[in-house]
Amino acid sequence: MIRSIPVFAFGAFFIAASTALSSPVRAQPAPDNGICGGAVAYGEETPLRWMKVAPGLAKVNFVMSRGEKEKAACPAATPACARRAFVMAGDDVLAGPKRGDFVCVSYIAPNAKRVKGKFTETSGFLPAAALQDAEPLPARLSDWFGTWSRDSEAEVVISAGAGGKLKIAGQATFGALDPARAARGAVNSGDFEGEVAPQGNLVAIGEGYDGKKPLNTDDKSECWVKIRLFSRYLAVEDNGACGGMNVSFTGTYVRLN
């Protein structure tokens, strides 16, 4: 559930956090366009990290992107750029690119339920000084197992395969949540499957794809999928060749409860 507080609390927090913490997020290669649509964004392939809000911080407001609510000066450490949504000490986020003093993140509350087919995901900027790296990820094969969902239009099922491999199958649609599209049969679909061994927290699926090559190329002859595990978050990216028009698996997933 998204938490909210009055925005005037933001300024006091940022001053305290920026002076008290000594482990800021390291810079990551990403365009500093002042916009954050989530840690996992289609076509960007940015580095990702599992991070937590530092101890001792009661409430940390999310920060508006540039142009949000016609505020061109955002993101900035000002009350005018503070959003009502916030996280608290110990909350874990999937962190993407660092842009100035802020980090683009995605947050889904533990035990979140889907509402109208979608999880309540809060995506946006958080002050870099308020975040720290979480503990190293476990390497157990069973940590991958389960049904992972971005929303009711995209799910990935992972189970045990032979010889330490993972059996992975994904299904996605575009337009299934739109009653008008569904009524006229305009829902597009896509799928993928594979049985592969994980490379640490990475799984690569697709003919000729190793998870290291760029996903976003002009060659769409094969469906390529990169899957990375970050504790309770599963980050999925594809190359746009895994289904019908506008179908994509790209996004932040959590395990269905």
**Mean pLDDT on 202-223:** 92
Identify the weakest region by mean pLDDT among 11-15, 111-115, 154-158, 206-210.
Answer: 11-15
57 with 85, same domain: the answer is yes
Q: Please measure the distance between the N-terminal and C-terminal CA atoms of the chain and give it in whole angstroms.
A: 15
Identify the weakest region by mean pLDDT among 29-33, 35-39, 42-46, 214-218.
Answer: 29-33
For residue 160, give its domain range: 141-255
| Tokens encoding 222 | 């094969």
125 with 235, same domain: the answer is no
Domain boundary among 86, 104, 133: 133
Longest dimension (CA), the chain: 57
92 with 155, same domain: the answer is no
Taking the C-alpha atoms of residue 123 and residue 108, their distance in angstroms, rounded to an integer, is: 9
Question: pLDDT tens digits, residue range 29-38?
Answer: 444 678 998 9
What pLDDT band is residue 207 in, cutting at 50, 70 and 90?
very high
57 with 160, same domain: the answer is no
CATH number, domain at 245? 2.40.128
How many domains does the chain contain in total?
A: 2
125 with 158, same domain: the answer is no
Question: What is the signed CA dihedral for 174, 1, 253, 175, rounded to 10 degrees?
Answer: 0
Q: Provide the pLDDT for residue 247.
A: 95
Taking the C-alpha atoms of residue 198 and residue 50, their distance in angstroms, rounded to an integer, is: 18
- Non-local CB neighbours of 136 within 8 Å, separated by 6+ positions: none
105 with 44, same domain: the answer is yes
Q: Is the pLDDT of residue 9 over 70?
A: no
pTM for the predicted model, two decimal places: 0.84
82 with 116, same domain: the answer is yes
161 with 97, same domain: the answer is no
Domain boundary among 91, 116, 133: 133
Domain boundary among 133, 162, 188: 133
179 with 223, same domain: the answer is yes
**Mean pLDDT on 135-149:** 88
What pLDDT band is residue 257 in, cutting at 50, 70 and 90?
low
Q: Is the pLDDT of residue 10 over 50?
A: no
113 with 18, same domain: the answer is yes
Is the dihedral angle over the CA atoms 229, 45, 204, 236 positive or is it negative?
positive
